[in-house]
Amino acid sequence: MVIFRQKWQSAALRVFLKLLQYKEIERELPVNSQMRTRLMGAGALAATVVLWSSFALSAKGIGASSLTTIDVALIRFLTPAALLIPWIPRRVRALRRERPGVLLLLLIGGLPHFLLFAFGAHLTTAGLTGLLVPGTVPLFVTAFVFIAWRSRIPGRQLLALGAIVTGVAASAFQATTATTIAGIGVLLAGGMAWALFTIGLRRTQLDPIGVVVLICAPSALAAAGLAASGLMPSNLADGTAKLPDILLFTALQGVGTGLLSTLCYAYAVRALGSNISAATGAMSPVLTAVVAVPLFGEHITPALAVALTLIVIGVIAFNLTPTRAKGNAASGRAQDISAAPGPPHPAQERDGQPAGVG
C-alpha cells in the first residue's frame, strides 16, 4: 500500500509540473491540438469556479455536520500535506533560503485565513461569504502595496476598486442583526489576510509545491495542537465525528480546495491566459449565491444582488485592466523585486491578480 501510494503521488506531481510548464509545450503543438487544449482549459476553468464555490459552501455547512471548525481545518491542511510527504525534505531546504517576512505573509494564508473564513461563514450567509473574501482581495492588495511603496494606481483600476468598495457598502444593507454585521467584519479581515498572502506569493522564491508545503504542514500541526489541547472543540479528538462527514470534507476541502483547485487553475492560466482566468474566476461568488438558495434556504435579496453585481464587475474590470510590471500598485511587489524563478504559482502569472481563495 505504501509503495502504491508513493507511485501515485509521484505520478500526480509529474502531471502537476507538466501543467505548470504548459506554455513551453504549447508552442510545439499544431493548431488543432492548441484548440483542443484551450477547450480543456475552459473545462479546467469551469471546474476551478465550482471548486472555489464549494469552499465557501462547505465552510458554511460545517455547522450542520458532526465536525467542528478545527476538525475541518485539520482535514483541509493535513490531506495535501500527507500527499506531499515525499517532497517535504527538499522543500524544507528551500524554505531555509526564503526571507522571514515572505514566509510570514505566506503563513497568513494558512490556518489564520481559514479560521477567519469559517467564522465569518458561521456568522453570515454563504452568499456573503463567497462574495466578500475573494471580492475584496484586489482592494486590499492595492492598498497594502500603495502604503508600502507609494506605487501608482491606474485610473481604470481606481474605478474598478470604487465599484468594489460600493459593493461592500451595499452588502451592509444585507445585515439585519449585530451578528451579521460582525460576520461581515470577520470576512473583510479574511479578505485582508488573503491579500497579504497574495503579496507573499508575488515575492516568494518558492515553487508551487513549496508554497503548498509551507501553508499546509504548519497549519495542520497547529490545528492538531488546538484540537488535542482542548483550546478549540474537536469532535475528531473525542471520537464523535461521523465517517460520512469526514469523507465529504476530505473530498471538498482536502482534495478539492487543497489540490484540485490549484491544479485546474494552473492549467486554465496556461491554456487561456491569466486575464481571462482571473476575470472568469470572479463568477464563483455568483455560483455560490445561487447554489446557497436550495442548499441552505438563503435568498438573493436586492442588497445582495447589488453587492454581487458591483463587486463582480469591479473584480473583472480590475483583472482586465492592462498593468505595468513596475511602479504599479496592483503588481503586489516593489519595483526592485524580480519574478520568482522556476514554474510560477498561478497568482504569479499577472501583476495584481490574486490567488484563488482557499
| Per-residue pLDDT tens over the stretch 69-85 | 999 999 999 999 999 89
Q: Taking residues 190-199, report their average pLDDT.
A: 93
Specify which residues 328 forms β-bridges with: 152
DSSP string of 23-55, one letter each residue: HHHHTTS-HHHHHHHHHHHHHHHHHHHHHHHHH
| Per-residue pLDDT tens over the stretch 113-144 | 999 999 999 999 999 999 999 899 999 999 99
| Per-residue pLDDT tens over the stretch 89-108 | 888 888 999 999 999 999 99
Confidence of residue 21 (pLDDT cuts 50, 70, 90): low
Q: Grid coordinates standing for 149? A: 511603496
The CA angle 252-256-259, to the nearest 5 degrees, is: 145
Q: Grid coordinates standing for 148? A: 508600502
Please report the pLDDT score of residue 30 as a whole number.
Answer: 58
Please report the pLDDT score of residue 15 as a whole number.
Answer: 52
Across 177-212, b (16+ Cβ under 10 Å) vs e yields: eeebeebbebbbbbbbbbbbbbbbbbbbbbbbbbbb
Q: Over 80: is that where the pLDDT of 343 sits?
A: no
| Per-residue pLDDT tens over the stretch 167-192 | 999 988 878 889 999 999 999 999 99
Query: Lowest mean pLDDT: which of 14-28, 255-269, 307-321?
Result: 14-28
Contacts of 189 (CB under 8 A, 6+ apart): 116, 120
DSSP string of 284-350, one letter each residue: HHHHHHHHHHHHH-----HHHHHHHHHHHHHHHHHHHS---SSSBGGGSS-TTPPPPSSSPPGGGSS
Please report the pLDDT score of residue 357 as a whole number.
Answer: 55
Residue pair 223/128 in contact by the 8 Å Cβ criterion: no
Please report the pLDDT score of residue 344 as a whole number.
Answer: 33
- Going from the C-alpha of 128 to that of each of 82, 137, 183, 300, the distances in angstroms are 32, 14, 9, 10
Q: Taking residues 298-313, report their average pLDDT.
A: 93
| Per-residue pLDDT tens over the stretch 275-304 | 777 778 888 999 999 999 999 999 999 999
Q: Over 80: is that where the pLDDT of 355 sits?
A: no
Query: Lowest mean pLDDT: which of 23-37, 56-70, 273-287?
Result: 23-37
Query: Lowest mean pLDDT: which of 25-34, 57-66, 248-257?
Result: 25-34
Half-sphere exposure of 314 (CA within 13 A, CB side): 26
Mean model confidence pLDDT for the chain: 83
Q: Over 60: is that where the pLDDT of 354 sits?
A: no
Percentage, residues of the chain above pLDDT 70 = 81
The pTM (predicted TM-score) of the whole model is 0.81
Query: Lowest mean pLDDT: which of 157-171, 176-190, 300-314, 324-338?
Result: 324-338
Residue pair 15/209 in contact by the 8 Å Cβ criterion: no
